[in-house]
Structure 1
Amino acid sequence: MMSSNSANNLLDEALGFNDDGGGGGGGLLLLIEDRVETSGAFILHHLIKRRISSPNRPNDVVVFLSFAHPFSHYDRILRKMGCNLGVQKENKRFVYYDMLNLNYPEGEQGAEDLLLSVYGKIQKTVELCSSREGYKNSTIMIDDISLMEVALCGSSNLVLDFLHYCYSLATQFDCLVIILNHEDVYSTVDVPSPLLQMEYLANIVIKAEPLATGLATDVHGQLTVLNKGICQGSGCSKSKIRNFHFRVKENCVEYFYPGSRT
């Protein structure tokens, strides 16, 4: 059994992350899919802390777009995990965009102009960070795209365009793009959704799901991590699938294989 505060836990191993806070860079897209009854937000929190707390990556930046919660929500949770987001925000290592309280204009053209403006700010931030000495990777996080679509009055085309813009930054500046989405929002939709295209583009897909056997007091759900591997030069690493259970605690998360707890 390993907790999220361990130097190397089951989640980090499945993602291919190493102990210095690295891994997961190099133009990668990581998609987190959860359900209403099994939130995957704890994965976002873990990755925020990992990306901005490593002493070996002092010039890396997390650009965070929140359609779900105010800054105080993330700050409160990360403080319990030993990470002060307020300080990181002042130090420009955590760049927070409050997408909740934006005045979204009526009409698709107005919404598109607004998203282009936000994208322009993200691009400038990433460009500035990439010019710093010792730069390794920046991270762009979106919480979450299902609420983004709601804010844009159901325009999946605008959502997809924006996600593709962010993905272009990943490939251009060696960024990691992390997206959270509620999978069951689209369970009754027959037409292709942004989720389907993101699943295709994603290098890593994490699914947070309830237990197949139902509820349990000491197990909150299961994670399935599909790591599609990375192609570099003439070689490609093989795809790997890992499955394990998790339990969310006050200031950490425990990960363990089924049947490994006594």
Structure 2
Amino acid sequence: GVNLTAARECGQLVFLEGLKSSVDVFFRAQAEPHPLQFLREADAGNLQPLYEFVREALKPVDDGQAAWRCPVLLVDDLSVLLSLGLGAVAVLDFIHYCRVAVCWERKGNIVTLVHDSGDGEDEENDILLNGLSHQSHLILRAEGLATGFCRDVHGQLRILWRTPSQPTAQRDGSLTYQYKIQDKSVSFFAKGMSPAVL
């Protein structure tokens, strides 16, 4: 329900289109800085230019503008960085620095997407997924049904939240909802409570 084009025009949204920018990095002069500079370098582990892009986006556009209040950094999708040859440790370091800039300094949030195939063959992806899971306060896992295809239920959403300030026994909680994807929305319902079943 949010008009992202309008938000971008009035300075509420800063957007880096990775696919378009990845082509641009090859046609720029070598000396020009670019957020995706790691694509062009032999040492593909340096995400500092991408981090600097995030830092610059958090600064006010002009001196009269107020600084961002409670910004949200959306990264869709971190698994792509692994596909481009970066190691999981480099990606986790990037997210750590972004957490310092966004969460601690600006009291904002970070939302990331990571794919989990569940087969255990991609060790780098497993390291990234586990590292992010240990740092996160809220984890949403969208997954298919264990029973297979169903016409009225497309999958389930598991929600795990952690409250670090609570004792270990009380700090973790979870909920599971099932969902059905419709034309322009998604319907959520309790597990086993699909409208088709009832």
The answer to whether TM tops 0.5 is yes
Q: Which residue number corresponds to residue 73 of structure 2?
A: 140
Q: Which residue of 2 aligns with 1:177?
A: 110
Letter matched to residue 254 of structure 1: S
One-letter identity of the residue aligned with 1:97:
L
Check if 1:163 corresponds to 2:82: no
Q: Structure 1 regions of 5+ residues with no counterpart?
A: 1-81
Matched, 1:204 2:138: yes
How does 1:82-161 map onto structure 2 within 5 Å?
82-101=1-20, 102=22, 103=25, 104-108=39-43, 112=46, 115-128=47-60, 132=66, 136-151=69-84, 153-161=85-93
SS at match of 1:181: coil
Structure 1 pair 165/185, CA: closer, same or farther in 2 (3 Å)?
A: farther
One-letter code aligned to 2:128 = P
Change (3 A) 1:185 1:150: farther
Distance 1:205 1:107 in 2: 34
Query: 5 Å matches for 1:1-262?
Result: 82-101=1-20, 102=22, 103=25, 104-108=39-43, 112=46, 115-128=47-60, 132=66, 136-151=69-84, 153-169=85-101, 170-184=103-117, 187-190=120-123, 193-231=127-165, 238-260=171-193, 261=195, 262=198
After superposition, the Cα gap between the structure-2 partners of 1:240 and 1:144, relative to the gap in structure 1 and judged at 3 Å, is same
Output the CA distance in 2 between the equivalents of 1:173 and 1:87: 23
In structure 1, what is the Cα distance between the partners aligned to 2:72 and 2:98?
10
* Bigger strand share: 1
Deviation at 1:148, TM superposition (A): 1.4
Structure-1 separation of matches of 2:119 and 2:56: 33
1:28 aligned partner? none
User: 1:95 deviation in Å?
Assistant: 1.1
Shift in CA distance, 190/86, structure 1 to aligned 2, threshold 3 Å: closer
2: distance between equivalents of 1:165 and 1:200? 16
TM-score, structure 2 as length reference = 0.76
Q: Deviations over 1:213-238 (max 9, x none)?
A: 11111111001100112539x9xx73
Residue equivalent to 1:76: none
Give 1:204 shift. Answer: 0.9
Note the alpha carbon deviations across 1:128-168, whole angstroms, 9 max, x for none.
39x728x64100011111111112x1422321221111111
Residue type of the partner of 2:142?
A
What is the one-letter code of the residue matched to 2:66? R
* Contact 1:186 1:193 (C-alpha < 8 Å) held by counterparts: no
Q: Alignment length, in residue pairs?
A: 173
Give the drift of 1:196. 1.2
Identity among equivalent positions (%) equals 23
Structure 2 regions of 5+ residues with no counterpart? 26-38
